[in-house]
Amino acid sequence: MRRTVLVTGANRGIGLAFAGQLLARGDHVIATCRHPGKAAALNALGGEHPGRLHVLPLDVASEKSRAELIRELPLVLGEDGRLDLLINNAGVLHSGERFGQLRQETLEDSLRINAIGPLLLAQAVAPLLRDGNRAAGGNEGVAGTGATGAVINQANHVECKRDSVCVDRLPGGARAADITSSGGARGAIKSLPDTRLVDCAPSAAAASGCPVIANLSSQLGSIAGVTRFGAPSYAISKAAQNMASAQLAQALAARGIVVLSLHPGWVQTDMGGEKAPDAPADVVAGMLRLIDAATPAQSGGFFDWRGEALPW
């Protein structure tokens, strides 16, 4: 089934790879960037996939620009006027920061682009996102009030209790993991021994998967992973984005919309540099596998592009 996808920062790097792969598989892509007139590689994709790519201007950090996009979106959405997937990809990394010379402007810019912009864009786009149908298919449970949620799948006898997120084996060889928490704060990660699935995909929407908001995060935003002083504006803004994703997951749980925080690895882009080990095409293919298979039980989770659950 053809999906309608909105991608930010789609003129280069990982965003461009998302646009290319989504178009190649037949999806309808609304690709945004700050300067559409200069987005040669992105605009070229439009010629290869006639009628399925719309390029619209968006500076994610600008309230005015976000409002203009929301006004334009209904004009380019498909017949049902709905989006299936929002990929908050646009991001910035200010390099060369040193302790003793941190600047308010750099910190604020990073927060605006990496955390505040994606959250407010998701809020503005939410009314246009398709609802997931969580009640169908023999599932019950799925909360979303305060705790992360609960899903009980009778067919597979998988039970993920309140205050936990069950993450099952994902496509691409990822392992199964169970993130548990106490007192509402997420904590230890432990592997599960098998690959039982939490079947929360609704029968009606199974062909197209759950509606998803995918926020491109970074391992550098993991507070648990801090071992040195480095790229503080970026790390702080991605940590803030992670909290925004967890909050969004709660806000949208009742509608069956899944929110994922995704670390794409260290990727060969302008941001990642030439020495990065991962190619944009590979990590984007991996993230699309995760997004396609995403379930409400995973909403609010933090994963790398292979599906490994990451510590906060």
CB of 147 to ligand NAP, least distance (A): 28
Choice between 62 and 180, CB closer to ligand NAP:
62
Q: How many whole angstroms separate alpha carbon 250 and alpha carbon 221?
A: 20
Contact 260, 290 (CB under 8 A): yes
Residue 98 CB, nearest approach to ligand NAP (Å): 20
Provide the minimum distance between the beta carbon of 34 and ligand NAP in the complex, in angstroms, as a whole number. Answer: 4
In the complex with ligand NAP, the residue whose CB is nearer, 10 or 197, is 10
What residue ranges bind ligand NAP (CB under 6 A)?
8-9, 11-15, 33-34, 58-61, 89-92, 113, 216, 218, 263-264, 266-267, 269-272, 276
Q: Whose Cβ is closer to ligand NAP: residue 9's or residue 211's? A: 9
Task: Name the DSSP letter for residue 278.
Answer: B
Least Å from the CB of residue 237 to ligand NAP: 9
Indicate the Cα dihedral angle 23, 27, 32, 37, nearest 10°. Answer: 40
Beta carbons within 8 Å of 237's beta carbon, 6+ residues apart: 107, 110, 111, 113, 114, 115, 221
| Closest CB 259 distance from ligand NAP, rounded Å | 15
Q: Nearest to residue 288, comparing CAs of 52, 26, 91?
A: 26
Supply φ then ψ for residue 240, to 5 degrees. -65, -40
CB of 275 to ligand NAP, least distance (A): 10
Which residue, 152 or 276, has its beta carbon nearer to ligand NAP? 276
**Distance from C-alpha of 298 to C-alpha of 302, rounded to nearest angstrom:** 9
Contact 276, 267 (CB under 8 A): yes
**Cα 214 vs. chain centroid, distance in angstroms?**
1
Shortest distance, position 168 Cβ to ligand NAP, whole Å = 24
Residue 125: Cβ within 10 Å count? 18
Q: Considering the complex, what minimum distance in angstroms separates the CB of residue 120 from ligand NAP?
A: 12
Q: Toward ligand NAP, which CB reaches closer, 12 or 169?
A: 12
Nearer Cβ to ligand NAP, position 59 or 84? 59
Q: Give the Cβ contact number of residue 57 at 10 Å.
A: 16
Choose between 80 and 270: whose C-beta lies nearer to ligand NAP: 270
Half-sphere exposure of 32 (CA within 13 A, CB side): 25
Question: In terms of CB distance, is 68 or 178 closer to ligand NAP?
Answer: 68
For 247, counting Cβ atoms within 10 Å of its Cβ (0-12 exposed, 13-18 middle, 19+ buried), the class is middle
Burial class (CB in 10 A: 0-12, 13-18, 19+), 68: middle
